[in-house]
Amino acid sequence: MRFIKLDRPEKALHLCRLADEHFLAGTRSLVVIDDENRAVTLDRFMWVWDKCSFLPHALDNGTVECLDEPVVISTEEHNSNQAQVLIMGTTCMDDGFMAQFDLIYDFAETYDERLAEEARTRFRRYRSLGYNPTMV
């Protein structure tokens, strides 16, 4: 498990970078977002975030089959593409869901004290669950 420190509110950019990095490495990833509006916004951003990159992905809104997609965006804790990497755009709470992944990313949003404290709480929770989170 890796925590990425964000000094500025640029989470969408980091979500895209991580998804792209794992796509290029041949690893499937799942990006979990907290609501449908933000998921649609991220879906659109993934098409244009880097003009030199192509990041094939799908928004799992229940109307599209995502089994073969290398990157899936979802608002549900459901691994529809059998991803090995979980990128948390929002906090995932189901321990059984999180255990499905080889690598998990979370974010420490240090630019906001409330969000930073929430990240510290999650960091401690992950440790209590047996994960070894590292800050990158």
Sketch out the chain's domains with CATH numbers: 2-135 (3.40.50.10110)
What pLDDT does 63 receive? 76
Helix (H) or strand (E) holding 135: strand 134-135
Please state the length of the chain.
136
What pLDDT does 89 receive? 96
Name the pLDDT band for 7 (thresholds 50, 70, 90).
very high
Query: At residue 3, does pLDDT exceed 90?
Result: yes
Name the pLDDT band for 64 (thresholds 50, 70, 90).
confident
**Residue 134 token pair:** 């590292």
Average model confidence (pLDDT) across the chain: 94
pTM of the predicted structure, to 2 decimals: 0.94
